Amino acid sequence: MSTDLPRNVVPQQPHLMTEIPLDAAVYQPPPPEYVESKVASDTEHDFLRENERWPTPEEERTWVRVADNIPTAAFLIIVTEFCERFTYYGASGIFNNYISNGYKVPGSSPGAIDGGKQMATGLINFFQFFCYICPIFGAIVADQWLGKYKTILLFACVYLVGNLVLTLTSIPASIRAGGALPGLIIAMIIIGLGTGGIKPNVSPMVAEQYTRTRPFVRRLKSGKEVLVDRDATIQSMFNWFYWSINLGSLSAIATSELEHNVDFWPAFLLPTLMFVVCILVFWLGRNKYIRNPPTGSILLQAASCLTTGVRQSRIAKRSGQVLRDDAGAKLNWMEYAKPSNMVDVPASPVAWDDHFVDELRRTLKACKVFIFYPVYWLCFGQITNTLISQAGEMNTGSVPNDIMQNIDPLFLIIFIPIFDKVFYPGLRRCGLDIGPILRIFIGFVLAAIAMAYAAIVQHLVYSTGPYYDHPGSQHNDISAAIQIPAYAFIAWSEIFASITGLEYAYTKAPQSMKSIVMSIFLFMNCGGAILAFCFNPISADPHLVMNFSIAAGLMGFFAFLFYACFYKYDSQEQRGKS
């Protein structure tokens, strides 16, 4: 297909198919004051359609900003993510019972491996750790060789193989022959590899489908004019992306019912079949996606750049050639990695330029925010292990104990649209634009409250007969409905902390480093899994009150430490917009 465009339209990225109807797009250059304040590349994708115009400086400064419509290509990727998460949560949602309990034991919850609560917690934490360490590898593959689209498609096929292994080793003959445990471990490893190729690339690819970079005014059918903003659009896209994740996670309801009423093999077969749909949906959209070609992995280049900056700054100090900016302040040590600032010029040219150093510095600044997330993921991970165990010690009526975890996505499905369409726009209309740092802080505090509440519930469980703090596979006379507020607080924390983390990872990373930054954000889940391993000795009765209490205390402490370290970032961002 020819990439030539009519002269009145600014070309999009070369070799890419776009969502812009060419007969409706009318390119008008941005106002001079905008061009002077931005780098030239920021305007290359800007255009105007019918009933659109550029805002005046006063309008851009004072009008309430709204989100644009989500492109069709982004919607297809969101549907793909829904199918993938349907598979992931549908399978992993029943791992706790699958590992903990024996197969077809009368009067007990469904099971297969009979490994107990600690084995279940350990294997689930290993699975989480492996799923979120592999994204670094997936990001390298995408950046160095295949690009995001081909990487997602390739690793989706790997993922499907893992699901097939899990399904085939869960048939009754395999369980009775002892094949369930080795089959589960093999499947966990293969699915982890597949997840590693998909997760760091799918969310950046969603956001890449929206190419407009600067605000513009659109006249609605009612005649009202609104200021459409890229940041608000990206925030909305990630809200709906996360909404699709949680809609998909409701598959655990179906798989829990299947394991409870039929057997494990149909419970694993359902998500396996859905993943076939996932691959087909993603492949069918191949001609609609905006695809950025691979630019080469930058990890080694970044490492070399950082070591060069350290070495050059030390040479500058020893030789008395310390560089200063126009205000007389000493330059940051990374500035010495710039070829234009090197004190001791190397014999051979370096593989980067000044712009690369600036982008790397922005990347490191964004990644500093993520170092507090492991404690958050420790709290979030309680949904799939200790909270399920807690429900198993309570009266759940006729439903399986592991179905309780679906309260979290149910709350998210309800509240994400409310936040996206009502709460955040309402705050903006009142002149209150909550910055990402404040949103993350609120999310951390809500997670701490969730863990504190879970500790109170566990204390009530241990205080109730007939089994008190040693219920084993039995349950005490207390309703599991009392758990609902804990799941509600976790869900609200995700809206503020998890969704904002995805948004922050994408918007703050330079274009060439988005997959790497996203993989680093996902890697923080590994830190949460490592912390969870440390909690393993207190993840069983009668220590669960201590488990939840320590998690709540850690989260509360790190929430306020996080805000003390980064609260200035929000004000800096607001000054950058004004």
Q: How big is the chain, counted in residues?
A: 578
pLDDT above 50: residue 572: yes
- Residue 515 in any domain: the answer is yes
Tens of pLDDT, residue by residue over 202-211, are: 988 998 999 8
The band of 2, judged by pLDDT with boundaries at 50, 70 and 90, is very low
Residues 6+ away with beta carbon under 8 Å from 79: 244, 281
User: End of a domain among 312, 333, 352?
Assistant: 352
Stated as kind and residue range, the H or E segment containing 575 is helix 544-577
Cis peptide before 339 (omega within 30 of 0): no
pLDDT at 39 over 60: no
Q: What local confidence, expressed as pLDDT, does residue 380 receive? A: 92
pLDDT band at 575 (very low <50, low <70, confident <90, very high): low
pLDDT of residue 330: 86
pLDDT band at 140 (very low <50, low <70, confident <90, very high): confident
Tell me the residue range of the domain where 316 lies: 299-352
| Cβ-based neighbour number of residue 459 at 10 Å | 15
Same-domain check for residues 99 and 168? yes
- Regarding whether 87 and 126 lie in a shared domain, the answer is yes
Confidence of residue 325 (pLDDT cuts 50, 70, 90): confident
Sheet holding 65-66, edge to edge: 52-53, 216-219, 225-228, 65-66
Do 325 and 264 lie in one domain? The reply is: no
pLDDT tens-digit series, residues 470-488: 887 778 899 999 999 999 9
Beta bridge mates, 479: 395
Task: Write down the pLDDT at residue 328.
Answer: 81
| Lowest model confidence (mean pLDDT) among 63-72, 530-539, 545-554 | 530-539
Q: What confidence tier does 452 reach under pLDDT thresholds 50, 70, 90?
A: very high
**Judgement on whether residues 426 and 549 belong to the same structural domain of the protein:** yes
pLDDT over threshold 80, residue 107? no
Question: Model-level pTM?
Answer: 0.77
Residue 11 has pLDDT above 80, yes or no: no
Task: Report which of 374, 300, 364 is spatially closest to residue 508, judged by C-alpha positions.
Answer: 364
Is residue 181 located within the same domain as residue 324?
Answer: no
- Closest listed residue to residue 181, CA positions, set 121, 114, 268: 114
CATH number, domain of 264, equals: 1.20.1250.20
- On whether residue 569 sits in a domain, the answer given is yes
Q: Hey, which of 462-471, 472-481, 550-559 has the most confident mean pLDDT?
A: 550-559
- On whether both 273 and 344 belong to a single domain, the answer is no
Q: Which of 309, 326, 352 is the last residue of a domain?
A: 352
In this predicted structure, the answer to whether residue 46 has a pLDDT above a threshold of 80 is: no
Both 489 and 404 in one domain: the answer is: yes
Residues 157, 250: one domain?
yes
Q: What pLDDT sits at residue 478?
A: 93
Better pLDDT: 255 or 39: 255
CA angle 94, 98, 99 (to 5 degrees): 120
Residue 39 located in a structural domain: no
SS (H, E, C) 38-82: CCHHHHCCCCEECCEECCCHHHHHHCCEECCCCCHHHHHHHHHHH
Q: How many domains, the chain?
A: 2
Question: Mean pLDDT, to the nearest integer, of 538-557?
Answer: 92
Collapsed DSSP state (helix, strand, coil) of residue 325: coil
More confident residue, 424 or 298: 424
pLDDT at 37: 36
Inside any domain, residue 273: yes
Mean pLDDT of the chain: 86
pLDDT-based confidence at 31, cuts 50/70/90? low
Residue 500 has what pLDDT? 92
- Do both 374 and 497 map to the same domain? yes
State the pLDDT at residue 577.
Answer: 57
Percent of the chain with pLDDT over 70: 90
Q: Is the pLDDT of residue 167 over 90?
A: yes
Q: Are residues 515 and 370 in the same domain?
A: yes
Task: Say yes or no to pLDDT of 105 above 70.
Answer: yes
pLDDT band at 576 (very low <50, low <70, confident <90, very high): low
Q: Evaluate whether residue 198 is within a structural domain.
A: yes
For position 4, what pLDDT does the model report? Answer: 37
Q: Tell me: do 288 and 316 sit in the same domain.
A: no
Q: Of 332, 352, 372, which marks where a domain is finished?
A: 352
What are the tens digits of pLDDT across the range 109-124?
A: 789 999 987 898 889 8
Average pLDDT over every residue of 67-71: 92
Tens digits of residue pLDDT in 205-262: 998 999 898 899 999 989 999 999 998 999 899 999 999 998 999 998 999 899 989 9
Residue at 36 is within a domain: no
Whether residues 107 and 187 share a domain: the answer is yes
Residue 10 located in a structural domain: no
Give residue 8's pLDDT: 33
Q: How far apart are CA 84 and CA 96, in angstroms?
A: 20
Tens of pLDDT, residues 352-398? 889 889 888 888 887 889 999 999 999 998 887 788 888 888 998 87
Within a domain: residue 136?
yes
175/554 Cα distance (integer angstroms) = 40
